Structure 1
Amino acid sequence: MYKDKFVSAIITAAGSGSRMGAGIPKLELEINNKPLISYTVEVFTSMEVFDQIILLTSKELLETYKARYKDFKNLKVVLGGSSREETSYLGLQALDAKSDLVVCHDGARPLVDREIILKSLASASEFGSGIAAVKVKDTIKFAENNIVQMTPNRDKLYQVQTPQTFKTDLILKAYEDFFGKVSPTDDSSYLEFLDEEVHLIAGSYKNIKITTKEDLLFAKMLMEEK
């Protein structure tokens, strides 16, 4: 519980990680003899605020994860979908009807820390959403056919991460209204289609999403430093 609210978490881990080119699902790659997904799961299961955790995975790893994480009583392993959006929606549909707040997180972000999760919960509890984000460091160019069309103001640009936390009824309504009709790349975009405000909280440059081999090397370095 968090401030007398029933709190859920959705961890999406159903992707194949084809860009990694490792020959196995990327979340099964290991750092210090531990699969990447286990680092993510352990952050969430170590926090007392969560009443339920839904871990969504592929058909290939469904039984493996059920066996591996069977000792976490508040964690349920569920079959994900063919896309990130479908997997998130399946996770929302699997939530307990009592859920007040839901934290949506990429399984491929194993370096998330508790402070960011708690800040996102505080924001969602007050405003309806709490989206981890960091300011863009580089200059961004908008281009077509390799020709620059404009250079947006970097001071107003943010790199969005997870966790993304919402009032459960709000994000569920957004998915029910717009799933399959739009193609957003993150959960918070669904709120924009509802004309709801999306509130950002400070993320971390260390809270990287592991997508490529270079990301894996960087994550290993950060974990060794930690």
Structure 2
Amino acid sequence: MEKVAAIIVASGEGRRFGQAKQFAPLAGRPVVDWAIEAFARHPQIDEVVIVLPDESRAEEIKSRWSKVKAVVRGGKERQDSVSRGLEAVSPEITLVLVHDGVRPLVKAELISRVIEASREEGAAIPVLPMDDTVKMVEGDIVTSTINREQLFRAQTPQGFRKKLLEEAFAQARKDGYYGSDEASLVERIGGRIKIVPGDRTNIKITRPEDLKVAEVWLNESRRGL
């Protein structure tokens, strides 16, 4: 039977944000706690590994969510942090989802879609279409317009067969390569990645104003709007 783990990556320092954004308050709780809860409550998730700047909250987090197997310290880069989380996953796990800890509004339906597609194809990511026209620019001059029909914005969670993800990370380490997400590492070794519909409310908290937007959507979801 398939065993699924979620790695929640929340080890950033939040330089652009002015503080560690994963710990910024959202409706009275740290941003990352909302993400942890979404995966800990999901019936198809067997265990959760959290990657934080340090392990000071480890006991508190484990006591609140029984599915949390480990809280590990992050690395220098995001890719290093995910690698440490992957090392902490139990041997019997066959499928791994990697999620940004600063995407607090991830829904159970999206998690389920990624799990199902990952089971079928070996790797899957949620995406959203590009709504705006995309321009190529050099300096402050437009050089061309890109056909947006083939362009999509990637979200998390991104799901993979554990062996495939481990192989992708091993090759990246060997090559000294750092990618922008886990899917880019799998692409490099020829992995086939299925896309599933993303969710517009699954925003990444990047700027202070994002917290206000997230709180509005959170309140709407609580009211069933």
Which category of TM-score, normalised to the shorter sequence, fits these structures?
over 0.9
Q: Which runs of 5+ in 1 are unaligned?
A: none
Equivalences for 1:175-190 in 2 at 5 Å? Answer: 175-179=169-173, 181-190=176-185
Q: Quick one: distance in 1 between partners of 2:200 and 2:112?
A: 17
Which of 157, 160, 169 in structure 1 is aligned with 2:151?
157
Q: Quick one: distance in 2 between partners of 1:150 and 1:176?
A: 37
Which of 89, 98, 101 in structure 2 is aligned with 1:104?
98
Measured against aligned partners, the alpha-carbon deviations of 1:15-71 in whole angstroms (never above 9, x if no partner) come to 0111111xx421111122111111111101111212211000012xx2224324423
SS at match of 1:225: helix
SS at match of 1:124: helix
Equivalences for 1:12-91 in 2 at 5 Å? Answer: 12-21=9-18, 24-59=19-54, 62-75=55-68, 76-91=70-85
Describe the shift of the 1:68–1:125 C-alpha distance in structure 2 as closer, same or farther (beyond 3 A): closer
Measured against aligned partners, the alpha-carbon deviations of 1:175-207 in whole angstroms (never above 9, x if no partner) come to 011136222111100111101122111001111
Q: Quick one: distance in 1 between partners of 2:167 and 2:98?
A: 15
Identity %: 31
SS at match of 1:63: coil
Moved over 6 A (4+): none
Normalising by structure 2, we get a TM-score of: 0.93
Describe the shift of the 1:68–1:95 C-alpha distance in structure 2 as closer, same or farther (beyond 3 A): closer
Q: 144-153 vs 134-143, which deviates more?
A: 144-153
Equivalences for 1:130-141 in 2 at 5 Å? Answer: 130-141=124-135
Q: CA RMSD in A?
A: 1.3
Q: Quick one: distance in 1 between partners of 2:52 and 2:83?
A: 13
Counterpart residue identity of residue 187, structure 1: E
Q: Quick one: distance in 2 between partners of 1:203 and 1:187?
A: 16
Which of 5, 8, 12 in structure 2 is aligned with 1:8?
5
CA shift at 1:126, angstroms? 0.6
Q: Which runs of 5+ in 2 are unaligned?
A: none
CA shift at 1:127, angstroms? 0.3
